[in-house]
Amino acid sequence: MAHQVYPNATPLAVATGATATQSFSAVADAGVAPNSGFSAMFVHFVVIGGGMVATVGLSVVTAAGTGATTTLVLDGGLQSVVTAGGAEIASVEYLSTGVANVFRIDFYPSGATNDLPGTTWNLTFTRAGAAGPPTQRYTWVVADSASESQQPWIHAPDAPVDVGTALMKDLLTGQSYDVSATVDNWGTKELTVSTLVMTTQGDYTLKTKTSPIAPGASGVFTFTFKSPPEAGAHPGAFTLAHDDPTPGHDAVVDFTASTGSIEVVLLLDASGSMSWRPNGTTATNPDQSRWYQLAQASGNFLHTLSHFASTQGQFAVVLFPKVTGSPLGVLVPRTKIPANPSSAIAAINGVTPSGGTPMGEGVDQAAGSPGVPNSYGLFSGAEVDVAHNHRWLVLMSDGYHNQGNAPSEQASYYVDEKKVRAITVAYGDEGEVDHGRLQRIAQAGQGAAAAPVFLDAGPNDLGTGLIGQFNVAIKEGLALGSIIDPEGELTNAKPQSVHPFEVTAHDRKVSVTVHWLRPDKRVEVELISPLGEVITVQAQPDGVRRVRSELYISYFLDEDGLLNAKDPAKPRHGTWRIVVRRGMSDDKVPFRYAYQVLTDSGLGFALTTTPGAHVTGDSIDVRGRLAIDGLPIDDAAVVVVLESPVDSILNWIARNHVPADLMKKAASEIRERREKDFTAMFVKLWALREMGLVFNDATVKQKVPMVYDPTDQVYRATIPDTKIQGTYAAYAIARGDDPAGNPYRRERRLEVGVSPVPDRASSPIDFDYSIVDGDMNVNIRFWPQDRFGNVILIDPSFDDRIVVKVWGGKVGQVQMHPDIDGSYVVRIQYPIKSPPHVDIEVLGVSLLHGFQLLVLKDLVFAEQVSKLRLGGEAAPGANRHTDGDAVLGDPTPKPRDVFVSLGAYGELAVAAPAMANPARAVTVFVQPEEVLQSYRVEVLPAAARSPTDLFSAVKAGVLKALRQKWIPLGTSPGVTRTFSLVRVAPNGVSAVRVVDTSGKTRGRDRLPSASPGVSLRGIGFR
């Protein structure tokens, strides 16, 4: 008996609020007489994935056209379907079937003959409301019997299952991985899959299957991939034996997998600053130094690496500068990851930091020289290893690159040429450690396809940041899961804390690390297993290893330990407890600690964002993917705490003033201790601390649920407002029960660096003209900022992303302004009569392009002050520059202390000088000040000259009237600026007025200013 499946290629998709129609041909029993009460044709349709069924409509197409659509009523009895001519062709009945998501339509001929055969019908689905999934899918089977219209439809995944992508991890050689695939039943009857046949060479076996599969549902098929010992690509395919009779349906499950070994290079900053305390002061004991903290963090890193990847690859340790005595700076040569890394840890502990920070030299040594063929540093150069190994460089630094060639910040170096993934760890304060460069290296080290892994141990390492961030580096590098990652504290009143965590049957290996800031022998950590076993330094069952160092205690649980190999009937799955205790102390300050539980698991949770750099003003899309053996979990409770900075430390450094004598003192103190390993920003930060000012790194936290997106199969949340530069974070926790009903918890933290992009309109530029030895000298000072007022604070001594080009003159070095206030200065020298053109580019954005400096000989300067109204001052007599005549004449030959200060909201007007032709522009020359003082410029337009016709005469009369009213010309943030007169005063001006709009009467030191308001040196016309 014949049947037809519709639509045979792919289901009919109906979006929310939409209507979709599909035609089908009648397959009717011609032997059924009309009006006999017997059905001649049957349709079964299925709602794939379930949900509220749409409104169903039916119409018939004949030679006369398409008849009216009959809206079917479920279980509502017989309904008529008519032709375009209005004649009834059949009665239909829309029925429930008792099978979930499956419905039936019976057709009863109504004409003089059974005229259903050969007709065409339209089946219409309408989703008027917003209920259900965004898209609902339908298929149906048409036959001349009810049983024949019930048919299964097998559908395997369209694309090969990428094992690594599904599991959210890099696949290692010689390991086994369980990965699941869904097989859909798009049919109207149960689908039975009997056997699976491996049809291509591969290393895959079927572990479990779902059969039968209900109509409109999916079955889970779990496979085990046994990775061969050789790195490479490993495809596979299974053909499913099934009872779907319709040819052409997809019954092949394809796989692809890329496996390799691990290659890890630790690249550690061993410069002189690492011998100091985390806050930059002198360490009186070795265990107070940054290097001590780094050695402890590196030790825990290597122990954790050994636990999760022992014998699975190789590692090396490289230092910069080369303080090891080795000409190559290699502390630990490339060697197999050992089960016990004690010798490598001892080598790190034995380092004495010294010297500068040649970061580029370190990167080249670790990963190979840029552009040099077959140069891979400490990484393998074998073709198969370059193509398939999982290679990552962990770069840690507490400073700025300041010697030799700068490290590459291009993805073409890391991702394309060296095939190395870069993870960077910053350790120290902004202004001392180059967060920006480390962020850019992390971004380049991921390429365009992934978010960067930039880790910040925090200012002063006030908590336990470095060990924790090295744990994150391991987690990201090995794609481990994080079960729990909070902080805790103990006091004399509360000397013990207990922290539970869940271990599931999906977890193969687990590490538990508790770490703290300073050595303390009174700290002890125990584990209590789900079986009630107390695991201590004295009692450790098989499969459990304990490591204690001065700043951490770690427990490492392998697969035998979790499965309880000695008594497999009692696996150690369930609730574990971490017990942290500390003996009594005279110290009244709470003892703070942090703890992390990592797992190599088939239950994965990844938190990502949009690849690429994030800039201020962007919304940050946070995406969480939760899966078991590669299959997405859509019913978990996922919440995320979104953290946004209240302030930026760079903005804070820029806006806080340090007197020059304190800056000089701070630089002298640092220079005595640290040779050359510091920046101007760090000097100011040091001085601010000496003044008792400390940056408040508070954040605004918002807890929101993450909403599941079935289209992308991820949970989503958004950080909407990123107007402040800095680090934004998302801390997500996913809870639920696995298919066996066992509870789980996974968490992930994502940190996103948001950087400012200079905005030309928001970036003031000042020009200070003077004559020196017969040449014109211009000191250009510019304040690059983004549209939200964030400063661009980088040190040109170490960063080449500020570029000034001059055509026709000499240009000096770009320098930070001595106040370190976010402005930069550069001097340009040129012949008086030949002004050059200038370009200024910051972070790749043009602030000035082809700008021609002034020819002062072409200007006619004001020679008469028509009005001076001095504004406010902070104290009587504070304003020392009250002579309005100081603004008259050419400003360039004047002594530097000759200018007039208008005071808060004061004003000065000058008469326009006599000129042969009307002035086309006016330039206001401002005396450079510590802080910009904004002002407004207004003009009195001049009358038209010698009107010769009525129109000109009328126009002249209007302009004469306008001379009694000041016309706004423009504003300035407080810099020397030229204003065009062409539109406002095409016939020139009779007077120009400058009004202070800053209202400022005090300097950055909060003392009464000797030059309140905007200060003027001259006003020129041309």
**pLDDT one-digit tens code per residue, 307-359:** 999 989 999 999 998 876 555 689 999 999 999 999 999 999 999 888 888 89
The burial of 572, by beta-carbon neighbours within 10 Å (0-12 exposed, 13-18 middle, 19 or more buried), is given as buried
- 3-state DSSP call for residue 466? helix
Q: How far apart are CA 572 and CA 903, in angstroms?
A: 77
Scanning 871-997, the segments in alpha helix (DSSP H) are: 950-962
- What's the Cα-to-Cα distance from 738 to each of 177, 211, 221, 231, 627, rounded to whole Å? 18, 20, 16, 33, 10
Per-residue pLDDT, averaged over 141-169, amounts to 93
Angle between the 342-349 and 290-309 helix axes, to the nearest 10 degrees?
A: 170
Per-residue pLDDT, averaged over 251-277, amounts to 91
Q: Which residues contact 720 (CB under 8 A, 6 or more apart)?
A: 619
- Beta-carbon-side half-sphere exposure of residue 587 (alpha carbons within 13 Å): 12
Per-residue pLDDT, averaged over 833-857, amounts to 94
β-pair type (390-397, 1015-1021)? unpaired
- Beta-carbon-side half-sphere exposure of residue 1007 (alpha carbons within 13 Å): 6
Q: Is the pLDDT of residue 958 over 60?
A: no
Q: How far apart are CA 605 and CA 150, in angstroms?
A: 40
Instruction: Check residues 454 and 544 and name the one with the higher pLDDT.
Output: 544
β-pair type (135-143, 12-15)? antiparallel
- Extract the tokens encoding 790: 């964030």
Q: Is the pLDDT of residue 957 over 50?
A: no
- 3-state DSSP call for residue 349? helix
- In degrees and rounded to multiples of 5, residue 313 shows phi and psi of 170, -160
pLDDT band at 773 (very low <50, low <70, confident <90, very high): confident
Q: Is the pLDDT of residue 133 over 90?
A: no
Flag the least confident range among 108-122, 772-786, 813-827, 841-855: 108-122
Q: How far apart are CA 818 and CA 659, in angstroms?
A: 10
Q: What pLDDT does residue 300 have?
A: 94
Q: What pLDDT does residue 221 have?
A: 93
Q: Is the pLDDT of residue 168 over 70?
A: yes
Per-residue pLDDT, averaged over 214-230, amounts to 92
- What's the Cα-to-Cα distance from 32 to each of 39, 90, 228, 868, 914, rounded to whole Å? 7, 12, 63, 109, 110
Would you say 329 and 320 are in contact if contact means Cβ atoms under 8 Å apart? yes
Q: How far apart are CA 1016 and CA 456, in angstroms?
A: 46
- 3-state DSSP call for residue 307? helix
Q: Which residues contact 787 (CB under 8 A, 6 or more apart)?
A: 616, 617, 759, 761, 762
Residue with tokens 């005549």: 885
Q: How far apart are CA 697 and CA 651, in angstroms?
A: 12
- Extract the tokens encoding 746: 């996974």
pLDDT band at 963 (very low <50, low <70, confident <90, very high): very low
- Extract the tokens encoding 614: 């994030």
Q: What pLDDT does residue 615 have?
A: 94
Would you say 219 and 177 are in contact if contact means Cβ atoms under 8 Å apart? no
Q: Is the pLDDT of residue 930 over 60?
A: yes
Omega before 895 within 30 of 0, i.e. cis: no
Q: What pLDDT does residue 954 have?
A: 43
- CA angle centred on 759, ends 753 and 765, rounded to 5°: 125
Q: What pLDDT does residue 328 have?
A: 66
Instruction: Check residues 112 and 73 and name the one with the higher pLDDT.
Output: 73
The per-type count for the chain, helices as H runs and strands as E runs, is 13, 67
Q: What pLDDT does residue 701 have?
A: 94
For all residues of the chain together, what is the average pLDDT? 89
Would you say 750 and 608 are in contact if contact means Cβ atoms under 8 Å apart? yes
Q: Is the pLDDT of residue 871 over 70?
A: yes
SS3 content of the chain, % helix, strand, coil (to 5): 15, 40, 45
Q: Which residues of 323-361 are buried (b: 16+ CB within 10 A; e: fewer)?
A: bbeeeebbbbebeebeeebeebbebbeebebebbbbbbb
**pLDDT one-digit tens code per residue, 704-721:** 999 999 889 999 999 988
Instruction: Check residues 834 and 196 and name the one with the higher pLDDT.
Output: 834
Q: What pLDDT does residue 225 have?
A: 92
Q: How far apart are CA 697 and CA 1019, in angstroms?
A: 45
pLDDT band at 450 (very low <50, low <70, confident <90, very high): low
**pLDDT one-digit tens code per residue, 737-757:** 998 899 999 999 888 889 999
Per-residue pLDDT, averaged over 408-436, amounts to 83
Instruction: Check residues 448 and 412 and name the one with the higher pLDDT.
Output: 412
Q: What pLDDT does residue 326 have?
A: 57
Would you say 241 and 192 are in contact if contact means Cβ atoms under 8 Å apart? no
Q: Is the pLDDT of residue 449 over 60?
A: no
- Of 760, 704, 1018, 755, the residue nearest 889 (C-alpha): 1018
Q: What percent of the chain has pLDDT over 70?
A: 94
DSSP 706-749: PEEETTTTEEEEEE----S-EEEEEEEEEEEE-TTS-EEEEEEE
**pLDDT one-digit tens code per residue, 590-623:** 888 999 999 999 999 999 998 878 999 999 999 9
pLDDT band at 953 (very low <50, low <70, confident <90, very high): very low
**pLDDT one-digit tens code per residue, 12-46:** 999 988 999 999 998 877 677 777 777 889 999 99
Per-residue pLDDT, averaged over 960-969, amounts to 71
Omega before 278 within 30 of 0, i.e. cis: no
Q: Which residues contact 249 (CB under 8 A, 6 or more apart)?
A: 153, 154, 155
Per-residue pLDDT, averaged over 450-477, amounts to 70
State which amino acid sits at residue 827: R
DSSP letter for 474, please. H
**pLDDT one-digit tens code per residue, 286-303:** 888 889 989 999 999 999
Instruction: Check residues 948 and 779 and name the one with the higher pLDDT.
Output: 779
Q: What percent of the chain has pLDDT over 90?
A: 63
pLDDT band at 1 (very low <50, low <70, confident <90, very high): low
**pLDDT one-digit tens code per residue, 624-680:** 999 999 999 999 999 999 999 999 999 999 999 999 999 999 988 887 765 556 778
Q: Which residues contact 252 (CB under 8 A, 6 or more apart)?
A: 156, 199, 237, 238, 239, 240
- What is the sign of the dihedral through the CA atoms of 155, 156, 160 and 163? positive
Q: Is the pLDDT of residue 130 over 70?
A: no
- Of 923, 918, 995, 921, the residue nearest 959 (C-alpha): 918
Q: How far apart are CA 813 and CA 828, in angstroms?
A: 10
820: left (phi over 0), alpha (psi -120 to 50) or beta: left
Q: What is the dihedral of CA 1014, 1020, 1021, 1022, to 10 degrees?
A: -130
Q: What pLDDT does residue 947 have?
A: 40
